[in-house]
Each structure stands twice: as structure tokens, then as C-alpha cells.
Structure 1
Amino acid sequence: MAARTQRIDRLAELTAARREEAEGRGVWREAFARMSRNPMAITGAAVVALFIVVAVLGDLIAPYGPTEQNWGDEVFPNRNVFVGPRAENWLGLDNLGRDQFSRMVIGARQTLMVGVVAAGLGFTAGALLGGVSGAAYALGGTAGRRVDAVLMRVVDMMLALPSLLLAVSIAALLGQGLVTVMIAVGTAQVPIFARLLRGAMIAQGSRDYVIAARALGARRRRIALVHILPNSMGPILVQLTLSLATAIIDAAALSYLGLGNPDPSVPEWGTMLADAQRFLSGAPQLAVYPALAIIVTALGFTLMGEALRESLDPRLRK
């Protein structure tokens, strides 16, 4: 009788373990299912999808070339005489007689490229730094905690400066250009990702499955890469979505300050916004259009990030 009871208890434990494993595999599936019913996530996804479509198919959507000055004789910037929206120019003309709608459409590609590359650089470098630091703290003992302390002091120095000021400083050192903007904005994002991943890995390091893996003699590298890291990626992936919005805004700010693409003929929303400041009294729409595009696009990424965070956090689930 006692042996039968032990077998039943063992079967119950195995069933519970399998159920927990199945639930763990379905966390992301459940999160995306909740997002599909979330109006905030749907709105953000629609905005981001529209932005991506415009950026990818810009050459097919734009009715004119972004550098064509077909209506230069109709614009007189010195006298604040500009052409507003009309049938052939949906958003009017800029100060050189170029179609503003075409420049907005083509400029979306540059803005998307800068934002995605910058956020990707920050994510990669921050994840590497935070992953090494978190694994060293959670599994490395006294020596690992020393490594963690050194790496985190580097992150603290980066956090001592506001992200935009750090990006401006790096861009000023490297010189003008889109590549400079990507590196500067990406570097400013590194400490955020590093701190998030380190904290998540340290929290996972005290979980029962990590203790069990160590008791079974699994190597520390395998525990960190196979067990701790995959279970710590939730917060950093949410931050990646939110950082896309921040990267787009910061890149536009650097372009506004004159640290972006040195070629003024290449449209980019931040550069267009900077050029429009000289003509605010005569043509405020030249600044309104790129500013609204930046705000709406950043809002789309922010809504998606917040919805993803809400879907993954059990305390915020509805």
C-alpha cells in the first residue's frame, strides 16, 4: 500500500512538472494572444505597420523625387511666400520648391533605419554587458561579483550623463553623419539594457531550477546560457520595443542639432524639422509635418511596448 501511494505521489509530481513546462513554453504565445485583444497594442501595431510600409515602399508611394525642384519659381523664401497643400502637392512645397509629401515619404526610410540600427546596437552591446555581469554575479562567487562590480561601474559612469547629452557628446567627437548618429544613440541605450538584463538574471539565479541544475553538476556556462538567459529576456525585449521610440526621437534631435546627414538633399525627418525653423513665420507647416510624423511613430512603438509589458507581467494582466 505504501509503495502504491509513493507511485501515485510520484506520478502527480511528474504531471505537475509537465504542466508547468507546457505553460512555460506557452508564455509568449499567451502574451501575443492577449496583445491581439488589447486596443492599445492594435493601435500601436497599426501605426508601426503603416510606418514600415511607407519606409519600405517609399519609392513607389512618392509621386516625385525628393530632390526635384520642379516648382522653384513659385516659392520665395526671402519674402516668406510659400505654396501650401494643393492637388499636385498634397503637403505643399518646401523652401526650394520640392514636394513636401515626397520628402516626408522618402524621409521615413532614413528615420526607420537610424532608429532600428541604433536600438539594435544598444540592445546587442547592453545585452552582452548585462549578460556577462548578471551571470558573473549569479554564478561566479566572489570572483564573479568582482567582475560584476567593475562592469557596473562602467555602466554607472554612462548613466551619470543624460542619454541625449551622452549621444550629443559622442556625435560631436565622431563627426557629422548618419553612422555617427546610429552609434551615438545606440551607445546611449546600452546602460538601460545592461541594467535590466543584469537584474533579471540575478533574480533568476536564485530560482529552484537553477539550484537544481547546479546540484546536478551542470556547468555554469550552460546554466547561464540555456537556463537563466532565456528566462530573463522578457524585460529586455519589452525595453527594446520602447527604445525604438526613444531612438527615433534622439536621432531626430541630433539631426535637428546639425549632427545628422551632412547632405541636406537627403530627406530625414529630424533634418527637415531643423531646416523648417527658419521659415516658421511664413510656412509653419514645414515644421508641423515632420514633428507630427516623429511623434506619431514614437507613440506607435511606445503603445506596443507598453502592451507587451502588460501582457508579460502577471500583476498587470486583465
Structure 2
Amino acid sequence: MSKKSDRIDRLAELTAARAEDSEGHSVWRESFHRLRRSPMAIVGASVVVVFVLVALLGDIIAPHDPISQSWRDEVFPNRNEFVGPRPENLLGLDNMGRDQFSRMVIGARQSLLVGVVATVLGLSAGAVLGGVAGAAAGLGGVWGARLDAVIMRVVDVMLALPTLLLAVTVAALLGPSLVTVMIAVGVAQVPIFARLLRGSMLAQANRDYVLAASAVGVRTRRIVVAHILPNSLGPVIVQATLVLGIAIIDAAALSYLGLGNPDPAVPEWGTMLADAQRFLSGAPELAVYPALAIIITALGFTLLGEAMRESLDPKLRK
């Protein structure tokens, strides 16, 4: 009996592999070629690469200690008098006499860390909920349909709250810290990934290779785990790229509201933007630099994600 079961599993794997060879590989290859020719993808990828390199190599790029107040005697916040760009301080000094360029560079690392960790948390939890719901709805019968209904109603409740409001609620409950920001932003992204993966799995559940595997007696669990789930991850990966940009904006917003790292000496773009609000009349550039960094970085991830989505969309293929 076990030999027969093994032969059936191998047949199902062969059927799925042939389906993937005839469609999956060619689709991904064609999508990659379209992505390489897309100006939007090139611009977005360039911004993302620069951001990642700056974040990873910040200690090498930053010319000064970002928390050192070496030039404090040269700034007078009470009189709104600040030092602007000069050779030793490319972006000038902040209100504490710290090098603004070094703080911007090191702040990129904090933003990347929060964005990546929050996206991974949201993706992981959303994949679990969406995967269980998709498997239950597609192949689970009556009890599966009920389980799917329960999970998706929970997801609907989470979707009823705006993303930033949900993140603020979670952050307020946990208290201000960098970990809180990661958890709050990650929780806010869970329903997006859950719904996307569930929908993708339901679409895959009606494919020919799934029907063939079911017809020859392959176990439902194996069909879901070995065939449906791997072929449903493409849209989720694309969405993760888009969510990274959103996560960076949400993290900056939470830090701006005082729910981020409680240590103001640690450079973070949202915190720097909040600190600069008091000195807009004397040094508006203190707010402009972190604001531009947040906007450009989020735009880069958005452009890359949109280009990936369009390259994989069969309706947009030429």
C-alpha cells in the first residue's frame, strides 16, 4: 500500500512539475525580461539598492559619530540660529550640534531594520492565516468552509481599521520602543497578506494539476503544501515589496508621534522629523532632509513593487 501511495505522490509531483515547466518557468522568465525593460522598475530598483547600501554601510559612509555633540557651542536653538551645510558637515548641524548627514545615514539603517522586520512579521502571520483559510476553503469540505469563514471574519475586522490607526493602537498598548514599532506595523499588514494568499490559493485550487492529483488519490494535505502553496506565493512576494515602502512610512509616523524608540539620541528619520518641527522658521532643512528621505525611499519600493505586479499580470502582457 505504501509503495502504491509513493507512486501516486510521484505522479502528482510529475504532473505539477510539467504544469510548472509549461507555464510557471516561462511566465517568470518573461516577467523578468519585461521587468528589465521597465523604466519604472529600473528607477525603483536603483533607489532601493542605494537605500540598502547606505543602511548596510552606514558606519563607513558616516563621517562623524551620529550622537556626538561636538559642535554644540556653534548652534543656538533658543535664538533659532543653526549652522548650515559646510565642508565638514555636508548637511549642517541639528539643534544639539550633531552632524546631520551622519544622522541621516545611520537613520537609514533603523528604517530598513523596522521595514524588513515588520514586513516579515506581517508576511509570516498573514501567510499562516491565509494559507489555512485558503486550504480550508478550497479543499476542506463543510468544516473547511466554516473554518475559512471564521478566519476571514477576523481578517475583515482587522481590515475595517485603517492601517496606521491599527498600528497606533498596538503601539499605544505595548508602549514606546523600536520593537513596538516593528510589531505594530507588522500586525497592521497581516490582513493584507492573509487575503492575498487565500485568494491566490483558491485560484490555484481549480488548476488542472490539482484536479489530476486529487483524481489519482494524492492526500489533500500534500496537494496543499507541496503544490498549491508554492504556486501561490508569487503575488505575495510582490506585495511584500510594496508593503516595505508602506512599513517605512508607518514606522516613521509612529516615531513622529512619540511611539518609537524612547531614546532621542538614536537617529531615526521619523524622530528627526518630529524634533525639527520646533525649528521650522530658523532651520527648515532639518525637517526637509528626513522627509525627503522617507518619501524617496518609499517611492522606490512602490515603483519596484508596481513594476513587478504589472510584469506578472497576465492582463498586461504584450
TM-score of the superposition, structure 2-length normalised? 0.93
| Shift, 1:23, TM fit | 3.8
Q: Secondary structure at the match of 1:64?
A: coil
Larger Rg, first or second structure (1 or 2): 1
| Shift, 1:19, TM fit | 8.4
TM-aligned CA distance change 1:121 to 1:19, over 3 Å: closer
| Shift, 1:20, TM fit | 6.7
Query: 5 Å matches for 1:40-119?
Result: 40-119=40-119
**What amino acid does structure 1 have at the position aligned with 2:316?**
L
| Shift, 1:25, TM fit | 2.4
TM-aligned CA distance change 1:19 to 1:236, over 3 Å: closer
5+ residue gaps, structure 1: 1-16
**What amino acid does structure 1 have at the position aligned with 2:233?**
M
TM-aligned CA distance change 1:178 to 1:217, over 3 Å: same
Query: 5 Å matches for 1:1-318?
Result: 21-318=21-318
Distance 1:65 1:134 in 2: 50
| Shift, 1:225, TM fit | 1.1
Q: Is the 8 A contact 2:19 2:209 kept in 1?
A: no
**What amino acid does structure 1 have at the position aligned with 2:261?**
N
**What amino acid does structure 2 have at the position aligned with 1:229?**
L
Q: Secondary structure at the match of 1:265?
A: coil
Distance 2:119 2:188 in 1: 10
**What amino acid does structure 1 have at the position aligned with 2:149?**
A
The more displaced of 252-261 and 232-241 is 232-241
Distance 1:187 1:26 in 2: 35
Q: Is the 8 A contact 2:176 2:262 kept in 1?
A: yes
The more displaced of 206-215 and 144-153 is 206-215
Poorly superposed stretches of 4+, deviation over 6 Å: none
Distance 1:125 1:238 in 2: 17
Distance 2:169 2:86 in 1: 42
TM-score of the superposition, structure 1-length normalised? 0.93
Distance 2:270 2:20 in 1: 48
TM-aligned CA distance change 1:20 to 1:94, over 3 Å: closer
State how many pairs are aligned.
303
TM-aligned CA distance change 1:150 to 1:23, over 3 Å: closer
TM-aligned CA distance change 1:185 to 1:220, over 3 Å: same
Q: Aligned Cα RMSD in Å?
A: 1.4
**What amino acid does structure 2 have at the position aligned with 1:315?**
K
| Shift, 1:280, TM fit | 0.7
| Shift, 1:29, TM fit | 2.8
In structure 2, the partner of 1:5 is: none
Distance 1:24 1:233 in 2: 12
Distance 1:150 1:206 in 2: 22
Distance 2:251 2:20 in 1: 43
| Shift, 1:157, TM fit | 1.1
Q: Percent identity among equivalent residues?
A: 75
Distance 1:245 1:297 in 2: 7
Distance 1:316 1:171 in 2: 40
State the Cα deviation string for residues 201-229 of structure 1 (Å, max 9, x = none): 11211222211111110111111111111
State the Cα deviation string for residues 154-201 of structure 1 (Å, max 9, x = none): 101111111100000000000010000000000000000000111111
| Shift, 1:261, TM fit | 0.4
